[in-house]
Amino acid sequence: MGFIIPIGVAVFLAFFIANLLGYGGGPASIPLMYDQIVTRYGWLDNTQFSQMLALGNSLPGPIATKIAAYVGYDVYGWPGFLAALAGTIIPSAVALIYLLKILRKYKQSSVVKGMSLLVQPVITIMMLLLTWSMAADAVGSIGYIHSIIIAGFAFLALGKFKIHPAFVIVLAFAYGGFVIPLT
């Protein structure tokens, strides 16, 4: 017989776990949030998560708190909003206070420097897996041609022309809203 967790506690725990284990800030915790939000609890599906992430990235501020606020409110209203934000902020705040004290004490240690360097490839792989999952979902919903057009445009706009990501996302939304329905 399974133990049933109240929804407010589940919302808090989902974001607490994702942010407790998400070393490296918001972008590093996104795959962990995805696992909690989509895979474990099913609060959003792939498409909804992708759209929420794109919209959240176009707004100013930390992405982890925007995801928490959106999902928490969507799942359980204002109590869910507060629970998700608490689950997102508490691990970072407590860890920051204690880790800064430790890092200040051992800042010249080669072990501390090595640990920081070893975590970077793990974060990169987690982000690649999340990107692969979202790309597969995009290709499944809009097809290869539109996916390649949007990805190519975004690559050029961001890399070559240095256009702000918010404008690139708005243009991708416009392409999806006006061009894709015509095909």
With respect to residue 76, please indicate whether it lies within any of the assigned structural domains: yes
Is it the case that residue 1 has pLDDT exceeding 60?
no
Same domain, 15 and 89: yes
128 and 167 inside one domain:
yes
Instruction: Confirm whether 1 is domain-assigned.
Output: no
- From 90, 106, 122, the end of a domain falls on 106
Q: Is residue 145 part of a domain?
A: yes
* Backbone conformation region of residue 77, classed left if phi is above 0, alpha if psi is from -120 to 50, else beta: left
Same domain, 31 and 93: yes
Q: Residues 72, 20: one domain?
A: yes
Same domain, 69 and 122: no
Distance CA 92, CA 114 (A): 21
* Statement to judge: residues 32 and 90 lie in one domain: yes
22 shares its domain with 89: yes
Number of domains observed in the structure of the chain: 2
Q: Is the pTM of this model over 0.85?
A: no
pLDDT digits (tens, 9 = 90+) for 109-126: 888 788 778 888 888 898
Q: For residue 27, what pLDDT band results from cuts at 50, 70 and 90?
A: confident
Q: Are 173 and 52 in contact (CB under 8 A)?
A: no
pLDDT at residue 113, as a whole number: 80
| Same domain as 145, residue 116 | yes
pLDDT on residue 52: 93
**pLDDT confidence of 2, banded at 50, 70, 90?**
low
Integer-rounded Cα radius of gyration of the chain:
19
Domain with 62 in it: 7-106
78 domain-assigned:
yes
Stronger pLDDT, 105 or 69, i.e. the higher one? 69
Residue 2 lies in a domain: no
**What pLDDT shows up at residue 13?**
94
- Predicted confidence (pLDDT) per residue in 83-113, tens digit: 999 999 988 788 789 888 887 888 788 887 8
51 and 139, same domain (yes or no): no
Q: Are 84 and 12 in contact (CB under 8 A)?
A: yes
Looking at the structure, tell me whether residues 119 and 145 fall in a common domain. yes
Q: Do 162 and 93 share a structural domain?
A: no
- Residue 129's SS3 state is helix
Is the per-residue pLDDT at 3 higher than 80? Answer: no
As to burial, measured by CB atoms within 10 angstroms (0-12 exposed, 13-18 middle, 19+ buried), residue 18 is: buried
Output the six-digit token pair for 66. 């925007």
